[in-house]
């Protein structure tokens, strides 16, 4: 499918104009960044996996009655999407305390929350996506109160659905980030889930070992980043048991001491 001009390039994705008015092509890169671009790397195969995982999750969310920007996956790295007016907010949903929540408030890492906690950040790289209150959103017109109420409801439904989906494959959904946008449908404004849902935007821990299967492997230099993303895709049944998306790299040959 022919891509139009580049509309936006982010840390992990590029959006191009799509074939028809109001559509776009979302391209998943292998690049990964942390601390607002201070730490950068390329994780070979990550874009391919995130494309597939996000397609799977957004299609399922659509089936529970929440509209998303995804029209269809086009190929290994690209999706056809509806272009929406992105609401400049990140909606963070937490089930277990970790990450910035524990740093900010001194809560013990791993504390299970009594109910899901929704936090809001203002999407602004220069300011480091600061945490904000609902009052800031209303005061600065980033979203209307009615939109916010609807999005909060969507966040909780998506959390319930995703917690169940991941639990079923032995993964705890610790927290995740969602983005939403506005679109017009027959003259009526509607809210669509946008962006992506993948191990780049969620924290996922193995139920038994608590092994991290998400972007924290990169953030905390734990290694095996693409293998963790592959594990998530395999458990969700998206990729075949023995598929290996990353390039096979052979280490230096080692001398084996047969006497040991
Ligand atoms: P925290 O606030 O603890 O750093 O992140 C909470 C959750 O939201 C994590 O699952 C994290 O991956 C996700 N998240 C928050 N901000 C961003 C962001 O700017 N980009 C991505 N990819 N994920 C984010």
Closest ligand 1 atom to 203 CA: 10
Closest ligand 1 atom to 100 CA: 3
Model confidence pLDDT, tens digit, residues 105-125: 999 999 999 999 999 999 999
Model confidence pLDDT, tens digit, residues 220-248: 999 999 999 999 999 999 988 767 665 43
Closest ligand 1 atom to 177 CA: 8
**Residue 247: its pLDDT value, please?**
41
Could you tell me how many helices (H) and strands (E) the chain has, helices first?
A: 6, 14
Q: How far is the CA of 202 from the centre of ligand 1 (A)?
A: 7
**Residue 244: its pLDDT value, please?**
64
pLDDT at 163 over 80: yes
Instruction: Return the best residue to mutate from 13, 201, 214 for the ligand 1 pocket (most ligand atoms within 8 A of CB).
Output: 201
CA distance 64 to 162: 11
Closest ligand 1 atom to 129 CA: 19
Model confidence pLDDT, tens digit, residues 184-194: 999 999 999 99
Closest ligand 1 atom to 200 CA: 22
Provide the β-strand partners of residue 255: none
Reported as type and span, the H/E element at residue 73 is strand 70-73
Q: Does the CB atom of residue 246 touch ligand 1 within 6 A?
A: no
If pLDDT is split at 50, 70 and 90, which confidence band does 253 have?
A: very low
Q: Tokens representing 16?
A: 């191009």
pLDDT at 198 over 90: yes
Q: What are phi and psi of 172, to 5 degrees?
A: -90, 130
Q: Does the CB atom of residue 23 touch ligand 1 within 6 A?
A: no
CA distance 13 to 15: 7
What percent of the chain is modeled with pLDDT above 70? Answer: 92
**Residue 34: its pLDDT value, please?**
87
- Please report which residue ranges of 67-223 form alpha helices under DSSP H: 99-105, 134-139, 145-167, 216-219
Q: Does the CB atom of residue 11 touch ligand 1 within 6 A?
A: no
If pLDDT is split at 50, 70 and 90, which confidence band does 249 have?
A: very low
Q: How far is the CA of 23 from the centre of ligand 1 (A)?
A: 27
Question: Residue 235 class from Cβ within 10 Å (0-12 exposed, 13-18 middle, 19+ buried)?
Answer: middle
Q: How far is the CA of 260 from the centre of ligand 1 (A)?
A: 47
Measured by CA distance, the residue closest to atom 20 of ligand 1 is 201
**Residue 56: its pLDDT value, please?**
98
Q: Does the CB atom of residue 197 touch ligand 1 within 6 A?
A: no
Closest ligand 1 atom to 215 CA: 12
**Residue 248: its pLDDT value, please?**
38
CA distance 43 to 40: 10
Q: How far is the CA of 60 from the centre of ligand 1 (A)?
A: 22
Q: Tokens representing 20?
A: 């028809």
| Mean pLDDT, rounded, of the chain | 93
Query: Taking the CB of residue 227, how many other CB atoms lie within 10 A of it?
Result: 14
Among residues 200, 166, 171, 235, the alpha carbon closest in space to that of 54 is found at: 200
Query: Taking the CB of residue 213, how many other CB atoms lie within 10 A of it?
Result: 25
pTM for the whole thing?
A: 0.92
């Amino acid at each position: 499918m022919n891509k139009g001009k580049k509309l936006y390039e982010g840390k992990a994705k590029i959006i191009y104009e799509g074939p028809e008015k109001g559509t776009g092509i979302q391209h998943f890169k292998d690049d990964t960044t942390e601390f607002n671009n201070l730490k950068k790397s390329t994780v070979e195969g990550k874009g391919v996996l995130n494309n597939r995982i996000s397609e799977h999750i957004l299609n399922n969310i659509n089936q529970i009655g929440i509209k998303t920007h995804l029209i269809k996956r086009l190929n290994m790295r690209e999706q056809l999407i509806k272009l929406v007016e992105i609401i400049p907010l990140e909606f963070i949903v937490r089930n277990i305390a970790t990450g910035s929540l524990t740093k900010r408030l001194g809560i013990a890492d791993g504390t299970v929350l009594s109910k899901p906690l929704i936090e809001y950040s203002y999407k602004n790289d220069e300011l480091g996506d600061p945490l904000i209150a609902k009052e800031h959103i209303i005061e600065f017109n980033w979203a209307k109160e009615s939109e916010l109420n609807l999005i909060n409801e969507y966040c909780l439904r998506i959390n319930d659905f995703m917690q169940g989906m991941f639990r079923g494959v032995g993964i705890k959904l610790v927290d995740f980030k969602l983005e939403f946008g506005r679109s017009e449908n027959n003259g009526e404004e509607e809210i669509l889930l946008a962006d992506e849902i993948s191990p780049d935007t969620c924290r996922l821990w193995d139920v038994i070992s608590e092994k991290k299967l998400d972007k924290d492997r990169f953030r905390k230099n734990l290694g095996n980043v693409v293998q963790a993303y592959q594990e998530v895709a395999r458990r969700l049944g998206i990729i075949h048991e023995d598929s290996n998306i990353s390039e096979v790299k052979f280490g230096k040959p080692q001398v084996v001491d047969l006497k040991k």
